[in-house]
Structure 1
């Protein structure tokens, strides 16, 4: 009897140890040095008391699904021919046209004030959240905590440097969302967003929320979750702050001369004259009537390789998301939305 009880206790202890070990692995603790550096940064940069930050860290959870989602974004794993149909579908176009019709007056006012077309604002909301239908289900606190402290680091030195910089970025966003919650009287524990920590109709990161959000309805708050007036004003302000040029083109279809060597520009900024691009073998498919500087965007479409000239406004859209496919999807969706409402779509 005594031996049996002792055996039972040993097995129970082993089971409890396994449970505790599994729990620790499921929700690991941040590296102590990294944690302390974060506390120091939150205090020195944003005036957040260490005890307050510690309390939020204690409520944060590591979520492997967030790391998994971050490692396979559509912009990196899909070519344009597969990426485009995700965002430019009959349903998304119809829904965008209906959304624009419902909020035409509010959007028209923002367009008049900022020069950012109403259909472009709607397209951003359509691509980001299906017009508010899917603003994200991940706890923002967990997303930023996971990516800030546990984003995987590979063995390649260059990749390690990029991933370390990305970790710093998300830790800073984590500090900023703590401050944002205080500034805007938000319930931080209840905030939901994307796997990267973006929030609201327009999927603003905390730093962008703090820097670019606007009070469009005049109630003294910047509410990107429940006030569409605030959402419209904020997206337009983001575009203006990043160099949107009212009435100017976004892209133009280009052709490559026969035998042209592939050209991949450095970055996405519109820095080449059309003459310079012509010297490289790329010319407008149709006469443009202007000589704005551009970059070259090459995409793999359903009909083969596509070449586009991306102008300053194209670059502005990429400040929302660094992917040229994202910017092209937003632009083309905006044109489809405008075409169905009788509005004049920007080229």
Structure 2
């Protein structure tokens, strides 16, 4: 599961939230056979042992609810068979490209400053903003403490979600957001950039110097947090993300990273094993998508097949690894890069 669940499907609209007084309707915890109310008391006790104040604990869990719809969304995430030819037009429609260009112009000063500070091209900041939350329009309306507590109680990834509950308490303790305003997706991903609480604590940044990191309402903090994330995971401002390429007849596909590697660590191992200089890719017959020679520059790249060996092929540069750290989905990374390429800004 990705560190901050940036690609979680937002379960919006009306929410079936059961108050603690109605927990007899909630499913018992799969392993502990306890009610949700009992489980919350356990979380509160653990929070006390971790040093959180009684006042914070009381206010944070005062209206905690079991979100039946969140569990349903988690267990029934749709598996849709798509290709990039069908996926990209839906994820990066023309209206979103035009809106992104408008946002680049509207926030040109702020984005330029953040880009220089963190060494991240503004077009990638805007692209992630657009694809994570539609420029902050779709961020989720679940109470984050309730959503995370529900997912922990469900038990399938209890340790992960329990840790997120305590990270969320830390965010509240630090005063970045009020409990009533701490909203997110059914999985607890928060704000314009859909950070999980652990990612917030690691990467959120104060973009305007007001002492708070408000990724729910403050675009300065949103931009700085996205840029800080990419910067910390190795972004290189001097290069782009990838380029689509054409392969020769009879190409040796073992030179590419396998489509499925079983996680980020083995994926990175495959990257290290298969990356070559552009001159070496040129020697084995790889060309730009239009058939012309690859750039004559001293750079390394790895070859990826987001659609499998019969689909598109991309030479991926180091920034591709940074985007895969954000979300380990070839399709998500391709949509971010595709949009960033379409909105490249010049005054």
Q: Report the TM range for the smaller structure's normalisation.
A: 0.7 to 0.9
Structure 1 residues 171-224: Cα deviation after superposition (integer angstroms, max 9, x where no partner): 111111011112025222442111221111111111121221111111121111
- Aligned with 2:139: secondary structure? coil
- Structure 1 window deviating more from structure 2 (89-98 vs 270-279): it is 270-279
d(CA) in 1 for partners of 2:86 and 2:74? 19
Which of residues 280, 297, 302 in structure 1 aligns to 2:304?
297
Matches within 5 A, 1:112-123: 112-123=116-127
Q: Does residue 1:171 correspond to 2:162, yes or no?
A: yes
Q: Residue 200 of structure 1: which of 191, 206, 225 is its match?
A: 191
Provide closer, same or farther for how the CA distance between residues 80 and 235 of structure 1 changes in structure 2, counting only shifts above 3 A: same
Mean Cα deviation higher: 92-101 or 292-301: 292-301
CA 1:35/1:140 → structure 2, altered by over 3 Å: closer, same or farther? closer
Query: Paired residue for 2:217, among 226, 234, 239?
Result: 226
Residue 320 of structure 2 corresponds to which residue in structure 1? 314
Q: Tell me what 1:145 maps to.
A: 149
Q: TM-score, normalised by structure 2?
A: 0.76
Partner of 2:17: none
Measure, in 2, the Cα distance between the counterparts of 1:185 and 1:88: 32
**Partner SS, residue 296 of structure 1:** strand
Runs of 4+ displaced beyond 6 Å: 33-37
Q: Tell me by how many angstroms 1:114 deviates.
A: 1.7
* Residue among 308, 331, 342 paired with 1:336: 342
Aligned-pair distance for 1:284?
4.4
Q: Who is 1:7 aligned against?
A: none
**Greater CA drift, 252-261 or 135-144:** 252-261
Distance 1:142 1:76, change over 3 A: farther
Can you give the 5+ residue segments of structure 2 that lack an aligned partner in the other structure?
1-19
CA contact (8 A) 1:251 1:309 kept: yes
Q: Look up the SS of the partner of 2:66 in the other structure.
A: coil
> 1:126 and 1:185, CA in 2 relative to 1: closer, same or farther beyond 3 A?
closer
Aligned to 1:129: 133
Q: TM-score, normalised by structure 1?
A: 0.76
Q: Find the aligned partners of 1:215 and 1:289 in 2 and give their Cα distance.
A: 40
Alpha-carbon distance between aligned partners in 1 of 2:194 and 2:216, rounded to the nearest angstrom: 9
Quote the offset at 1:59 in angstroms.
Answer: 3.2
C-alpha RMSD over aligned residues = 3.4
Number of equivalent positions? 306
Partners in 1 of 2:186 and 2:302 — Cα distance? 30
Which is bigger in relative contact order (C-alpha 8 A, separation at least 6)? 2
In 2, Cα distance between equivalents of 1:234 and 1:284? 36
Larger radius of gyration: 1
For residues 226 and 72 of structure 1, the distance between their equivalents in structure 2, rounded to whole angstroms, comes to 30
* Distance (Å, rounded) in 1 between the aligned partners of 2:89 and 2:77: 15
